[in-house]
Structure 1
């Protein structure tokens, strides 16, 4: 219940929960005291399908007892465990705490497994079939949701099986990306470029850098406008791994290909984020995962995911 933004909602949930339990007790008490007039044959007078009659028998005591025990159990549960608004319960149990405890236990049990790989350089890890099997599971559990199970990415998510790296493809840079995460920002540049026609000219020039189909006349007019882009993408649009600026001179397009996609990028910009895995994965796990990711585009061993 830590997501409550005001004490009112915590109190509201607590009161509503207790009121519901008390209402069950009240209903049980009223039902137990209610007396239905019975006829001489001990029926209530209700008849269904011509001959089915409801007997006027009291509710079984065992059923009443179980009902009361259920209510008592509910009150006891709410005293011991969280459930009354922001009240944490006597034991202060939480799913986050349970997850953290189980994760710590699993990491301790796996330490001997990872110990064999932590002393090896990433390049050596990438050639070890056992390490690659572990790395593949780590990748599927933590990275495949964005980069795909085959690591070939998709629109907005980099392909990890080629040699086109926004921040560098060395083992050190890959480990840094996994550990700290990345935030890539392309600011809207339309105002700096000029008119919509200037933007269109610049987009054609960007296409020309990679030899993609473009309007050569517009590309010539847009060349001078590329100066506002060169500070990040470099002269000739070859990219800059220091700031994560993509190489515009190849034919790898992370956020879509074609004139319209480039115009939109110039007009609206783009912000991409890769979440940091530090805190979610241990240093040993990150080391093995780095070997697996590096191996996707470098190592040529079974299980290394060579493209």
Structure 2
């Protein structure tokens, strides 16, 4: 049963509702709050009329009301992007035609190039090399100073423009790691021995006798590309085998796999996909990551 009475502590009249002896105070919302609430309702109707708001289905699919003023956020963003592109178009034209060294020595132009290169890297290169260019198995880390095909500005530009082992580009770099086991050039013992020798080049051989035998195999089969000391040859894309940086893994099992079945990773040729300004910007961005060579 509801029974109103005045609360002894606050002096406020109750609503008459009671639960387990607890009475509800009758404290209505302030007038200003009520009026504000009503105003928001009126504002919402006005907003629906003036601004794009309601989706509806047409014969060609879903669309939405355009509103009296025809405002559209997509158009605003599109116009802003167009303004940015127009503002840097002159700079990108210079980046497309100037020598890379001159761009690198122009701080203002270099700032534009690095921004454009970073954006292009995220769109085109990050799926393989990672968003931070850290690479992964089979995809080189571009932050270090270990370069398979060379890390000068010209080398990086050539790699970007023509790719590695890319069909359809006559200037692509095209050298492969032979499959010595699969093609029957070396037997299993010889492959094991040469793997031990390769490990010895970085002080990790577990079997010195096998490594000694492997040195002879290396001299007859591998020196032509990797050099006498296994330090590699960038002109041939032959990696340095004496350091701790490995594209496909440096443990013995991975080395045996590489020697047995070869490696022939592909780098796309971006010359037919990206304009020269973007390729130059990408070149400068990759070079700036920390491992570029003089």
Q: Does the pair score TM above 0.5?
A: yes
Structure having the higher Rg: 2
Please list, as runs of the form range in 1=range in 2, the aligned pairs for 1:172-187 lying within 5 A after superposition: 172-183=154-165, 184-187=175-178
The question of 1:207 aligning with 2:185 is answered: no
Instruction: Give 1:1-307 correspondences, 5 Å limit.
Output: 111-123=89-101, 125-126=103-104, 128-183=110-165, 184-190=175-181, 194-226=186-218, 227-298=220-291
Could you list the per-position Cα deviations for residues 94-127 of structure 1 after superposition, in whole angstroms to 9, with x for gaps in the alignment?
xxxxxxxxxxx99x95642402434544345455
Structure 2 CA distance for aligned equivalents of residues 139 and 240 of structure 1: 27
Tell me the secondary structure at the aligned position of residue 286 of structure 1.
Answer: helix
Preserved CA contact (<8 Å) 2:160 2:279: yes
Conservation of the 8 A alpha-carbon contact between 2:142 and 2:291: no
What's the offset of the Cα at 1:169? 0.8
Structure 1 residue ranges without an equivalent (≥5): 1-69, 74-104, 300-307
SS of corresponding position for 2:141:
coil
**Number of residue pairs the alignment of both structures matches:** 198
Secondary structure of the 2:264 match is strand
Q: Distance in 2 between matches of 1:242 and 1:134?
A: 29
1:126-177 C-alpha deviation (Å, 9 max, x unpaired): 5533321111001111111111111111100011111111111111111000
Supply the RMSD in Å over aligned alpha carbons. Answer: 2.6
Contact 1:192 1:228 in 2 (8 A): no
User: Does the 8 Å contact 1:158/1:254 carry over to 2?
Assistant: yes
Deviations 1:68-103 (A, max 9, x none): xx8xx9xxxxxxxxxxxxxxxxxxxxxxxxxxxxxx
- SS of the aligned residue for 2:176 comes to strand
TM-score by length of 1: 0.59
Q: Which has the higher helix share?
A: 1
Unaligned runs of 5+ in 2: 1-58, 61-81, 166-174
Return the TM-score normalized by structure 2. Answer: 0.61
Conserved in 2, the CA contact under 8 Å of 1:203 and 1:263?
A: yes
Please give the per-residue CA displacement for 1:207-250, whole angstroms capped at 9, x wherever unaligned.
11122343222111211000201111111111111110111111
